Amino acid sequence: MGCDQATVEEIIVQRDEDLVAARERWPVLWIDVEGLEDLATVRMIGDIFGIGPLALEDAVTPDERPKVEAFGEQLLITVRAARFDGDTVHTDPLGIFLGDRHVITFREQTAAAPQAAEILEGVRQRIRQGRIRLGHEGADHLCALLLDAVVDGYFPVLEQFGDRLEVLEDEAMNVPTRTTLLRIHDVRGDLMTLRRALWPTRDVLHALGREASSFVGEAARVHFRDCYDHTMELLDLMEGYREISSDLRDIYLASLSNRMNDVMKVLTVIATVFMPLTFITGWYGMNFDTDSPWNLPLTRYRFGAAIAATLMIASTLGMIAFFWRRGWLNRWH
């Protein structure tokens, strides 16, 4: 995409000559390279714009940590765009070369990194609609727009974390299961993934917004400082969610302990109710069929069995009434 004071033109480069001509023609040139496996294209761009092999390797490495580094006449900026894939967080790599009149972006194929593609398309649409005049602003302003879009893409991801934590809080309080604990650990792992991407991004934006550089003008530095503020807001929000996830783990363990106490209470009540029944049946189970004053009472009485059953029923009802008055049989959670 080439931009001047009045026009915007998009072309698909097929030959080296087309790219050389575009570089000479446009005051601001944006080259978007989709796919990190096409080494021939990557080397061709490096030869035309004077990018060394080490810088190119850093730009196309999928697991590269966010950083900013000067290579000759341009800056290399690597960041990561966040997205949800089902219930798992992924971060898509995005490499940006910033020169005096050009910006080169390296990203994976759209299917592998849809979030990075959406971010670039959003910026591209604003340029097409004339909402951004890159011919007036310069390449550093385009770089600031790209980084701003990457940072803003973290907000909807963290909003989904808020919804997930609310659901997990209800589960941990009411129906704690082993699955709940696993989901809590998954949330903590996803938050750590975001933290590993956001923390160095904060340093990148601080360097671009605070340190004097020939690649970044004062207007763009203001934009970078605003992005830095957004990053700090995201980090504060993320740390709050990490604390909530830690509290959820404690709530889960406390809920399990309470449920275990309820189970033990039920078993204790049942065992206690059966204690007098066991005593009575055991006492009258000792049948000594002899005429002795020390024999058990009622063993030869006609209604002895009925009296023993009445004693057992009365003792059971008496104990249940006692437990009820003490509140031990109230409904438990």
The answer as to whether 181 is a domain residue is: yes
Q: Which of 233, 255, 277 is the last residue of a domain?
A: 255
DSSP label of 65: P
Q: Give the CATH number of the domain where residue 20 resides.
A: 3.30.460.20
Q: Average of pLDDT values for 259-270? A: 76
Mean pLDDT, the chain, whole residue set: 78
Which span out of 111-120, 154-163, 296-305 was modeled with the highest average pLDDT? 154-163
pLDDT tens string 114-144: 777 777 778 777 777 766 666 567 778 888 8
Query: Range of 307's domain?
Result: 285-326
The answer as to whether 251 is a domain residue is: yes
pLDDT value at 333 more than 60: no
d(CA 208, CA 220): 9
Q: Which residue has the higher pLDDT, 134 or 247?
A: 247
Phi and psi, residue 91, nearest 5°: -125, 125
| Residue 247 and residue 304 share a domain | no
The answer as to whether 8 is a domain residue is: yes
* pTM for this prediction: 0.72
pLDDT tens string 216-237: 777 888 888 888 898 898 888 8
pLDDT value at 317 more than 80: yes
Q: Average of pLDDT values for 138-167? A: 84
Q: Average of pLDDT values for 17-22? A: 72
Q: Following DSSP, what letter does each residue of 235-257 receive, concatenated? A: HHHHHHHHHHHHHHHHHHHHHHH
| Residue 296 and residue 249 share a domain | no
Q: How confident is the model at residue 287 (pLDDT cuts 50, 70, 90)?
A: low
pLDDT value at 60 more than 70: yes
Q: How confident is the model at residue 10 (pLDDT cuts 50, 70, 90)?
A: low
Can you give the pLDDT at residue 35? 75
Can you give the pLDDT at residue 72? 76
The answer as to whether 331 is a domain residue is: no
Q: Which of 236, 255, 274 is the last residue of a domain?
A: 255
Long-range contacts of 249-257 (CB under 8 A, 24+ apart): 249/181, 249/184, 251/169, 251/172, 251/173, 252/172, 252/176, 252/180, 252/181, 252/184, 255/172, 255/173, 255/174, 255/176, 256/176
Long-range contacts of 186-190 (CB under 8 A, 24+ apart): 186/87, 186/88, 187/161, 187/241, 187/245, 188/242, 188/245, 188/246, 190/88, 190/89, 190/161
Can you give the pLDDT at residue 132? 66
Q: Average of pLDDT values for 76-81? A: 86
Q: How many domains, the chain?
A: 2
| Residue 156 and residue 46 share a domain | yes
Amino acid at 116: A
The answer as to whether 314 is a domain residue is: yes
Which span out of 135-149, 177-191, 194-208, 289-303 was modeled with the highest average pLDDT? 194-208
Amino acid at 233: E
The answer as to whether 311 is a domain residue is: yes
Q: Average of pLDDT values for 15-21? A: 72
Can you give the pLDDT at residue 178? 78
d(CA 293, CA 168): 69
The answer as to whether 272 is a domain residue is: no
| Residue 249 and residue 310 share a domain | no
268: Cα within 13 Å, side-chain hemisphere: 9
